[in-house]
Amino acid sequence: MNRLALTAWSAVTPYGVGSEPFRAGVTAGRTALTALDRDIHPGPFTHGAVIPGFSAAAYVGKKGTRTMDRETAIAVTAVGRLIAECGTGLTDRPEDVGLVLGTGSGSVQSIMDFTRDSLTGERPYHVDPARFPGTVMNRATGQSAIRHGIKGPNTTVAGGALTGLLALAYAGRLYRGGHCARVLCGAAEEYSTQRAWLEWHGRGEAERTTPLGEGGAVFLAEPPDAARAAGRAPLAHVLATRFRACATPDGVRQAVADCVRDALKTADVTPAAVRVVAPLGTGGALADQERFALGDVLGTAQPEWVRVSALLGDTSAAATGLQIAAVLAAAGPQGLGPGEAALVTGVDRDGTVGCALLGG
């Protein structure tokens, strides 16, 4: 079995820039939700979780970042920190390194600002041409490749709340298909006033006021032997990813349970071996169904529960990516031990569900 291992990771989150602040915040169970500065973040939400002091100019640099949106800056920063941590040898053969990043719908702020400029300008084409590429949804992945010289497959993945899980599944398939030797894989989401308004109007009444968060996480996924040759130890192996869909919200519990059971069976892992569980935990009633499903499958097992959304709010497309990072944070610097497993699950409002099973 051509299994990939996660051997390094980075995160840019409301706890701060880097994996260490995220690890410390998540393992302490400390909330990053605060009252929002309403001058900077007008919009429907009074509370949220934003990356403190973060901007493209501050973290990517002043050069060429005038038009860089926040989502792209988060992605570029997270990828950059991961490469820095692993050493530049990681991209010595840039053609062999894939980059797979998840997004919601790109930067909705950049897209809708561009349309607004067309509607309000003296002429409908009086828009800033330098801002056009930022309205295209592969911007964050593309800029991350350009700024860090990654020349292998460069793919952007979108799947609502499941985005991080789908990116991980895609990355594995890309590797097994012979398209790259290793993959940087993750997801990013920005806090913007425009996203806040779209979320506010798009949500059901029961979850309307759930605060929003932002952030990004990126993982290095590579075959274990190649990792060891480069002096890296696997933190976790990607044992399985599974996805399902259901026609009505009351089918979510069964769909999540089926997914998780199938993943456990495929990888021959017992519920008792699951040490850490990181559910999505957002979506109103869907979160209850997700929790019930995990109870159904895990039975009397007593894993550690990591609830990222309770700490960071709804991070939308970044959520399941940040949950994977949280599992790695909880596992500690040595990673998951032999025989230990971890589960990450997600439920999207569109009736799709998914999980990833990681193991030591």
Partner 1 sequence: MRDSQQRPRRVVITGLGTVTSIGLGVPAFLDGLRSGRSGVKPLTGFDTTGFAHANGCEVDDFEPSRFIRHADPEGLGRATQFAVAAAVMAVADAGLGESELRSRRALVSVGTTDAETRDLDALAEQQLAEGPEHLDPVLARRAQAGRLSTGIVRELGLTDVEALTIPTACAAGNYAIGNGFDALRDGDVDVALCGGADAVCRKNFVGFYRLGTVAPEVCQPFDKDRKGILTGEGAGILLMESLDSALARGARIYAEVLGYGLNCDAHHPVAPDRDSLARCMEVAHRNAGVKPEDVDFISAHGTGTRANDVTETGAIRQVFADPPPTVSIKSMIGHSMGAASALASAACALALTEGFIPPTVNHGETDPECGLDCVPNEARPADLTVVQNNALAFAGNNAVLILGRYQEAA
Which positions from 217 through 246 interact with partner 1, judged by CB under 8 A?
Answer: 243-246
Sole window of 14-22, 55-63, 137-145, 282-290 interacting with partner 1 (rule: CB under 8 A) = 137-145
Q: Which residues contact 99 (CB under 8 A, 6 or more apart)?
A: 79, 141, 144, 145, 150, 152, 153, 154, 155, 183, 184, 185
The footprint of partner 1 on this chain (CB under 8 A) covers a number of residues equal to 77
- 163 lines the binding site for partner 1 (CB under 8 A): yes
Smallest separation (angstroms) from partner 1 to the CB of 336? 24
For partner 1, the binding residues in 276-305 under the rule CB under 8 A are none
Sole window of 28-36, 48-56, 223-231, 348-356 interacting with partner 1 (rule: CB under 8 A) = 348-356
C-alpha R_g of the chain? 19
Please pick, from the candidates 53, 62, 92, 119, the single residue that binds partner 1 as defined by CB under 8 A: 119
Sole window of 31-39, 144-152, 184-192, 227-235 interacting with partner 1 (rule: CB under 8 A) = 144-152
Smallest separation (angstroms) from partner 1 to the CB of 124? 4
Structure tokens given for 23? 């690890």
- 47 lines the binding site for partner 1 (CB under 8 A): no
- 169 lines the binding site for partner 1 (CB under 8 A): yes
For partner 1, the binding residues in 78-97 under the rule CB under 8 A are 94-95
- 99 lines the binding site for partner 1 (CB under 8 A): yes
Smallest separation (angstroms) from partner 1 to the CB of 316? 9
- 197 lines the binding site for partner 1 (CB under 8 A): yes
When the beta carbons of 46 and 115 are compared against partner 1, the nearer one is 115
- 143 lines the binding site for partner 1 (CB under 8 A): yes
For partner 1, the binding residues in 199-218 under the rule CB under 8 A are 199, 201-202
Q: Which of 96, 83, 293, 32 is nearest to 186 (CA)?
A: 83
Please pick, from the candidates 135, 210, 320, 345, the single residue that binds partner 1 as defined by CB under 8 A: 135
Please pick, from the candidates 354, 357, 358, 359, the single residue that binds partner 1 as defined by CB under 8 A: 354
| Distance separating alpha carbons of residues 209 and 328, to the nearest angstrom | 29
| Distance separating alpha carbons of residues 130 and 145, to the nearest angstrom | 18
For partner 1, the binding residues in 171-190 under the rule CB under 8 A are 173-174, 176-179
When the beta carbons of 89 and 339 are compared against partner 1, the nearer one is 89
| Distance separating alpha carbons of residues 6 and 220, to the nearest angstrom | 6
Convert 204-229 to b/e letters by CB count within 10 Å (16 or more is b): eeebeebbbbbbbbbbbbbbeeebee
The answer to whether the CB of 167 falls within 8 A of the CB of 321 is yes
The answer to whether the CB of 294 falls within 8 A of the CB of 276 is no
Sole window of 79-87, 215-223, 323-331, 347-355 interacting with partner 1 (rule: CB under 8 A) = 347-355
The answer to whether the CB of 354 falls within 8 A of the CB of 241 is yes
| Distance separating alpha carbons of residues 90 and 253, to the nearest angstrom | 41
Judging by beta carbons within 10 Å of its beta carbon (0-12, 13-18, 19+), is residue 112 exposed, middle or buried? middle
When the beta carbons of 198 and 301 are compared against partner 1, the nearer one is 198
Sole window of 31-39, 191-199, 225-233, 299-307 interacting with partner 1 (rule: CB under 8 A) = 191-199
| Distance separating alpha carbons of residues 350 and 337, to the nearest angstrom | 35
| Distance separating alpha carbons of residues 167 and 307, to the nearest angstrom | 21
| Distance separating alpha carbons of residues 296 and 145, to the nearest angstrom | 42
For partner 1, the binding residues in 246-275 under the rule CB under 8 A are 246-247, 255
Sole window of 14-22, 28-36, 169-177, 338-346 interacting with partner 1 (rule: CB under 8 A) = 169-177
| Distance separating alpha carbons of residues 246 and 301, to the nearest angstrom | 27
- 154 lines the binding site for partner 1 (CB under 8 A): yes
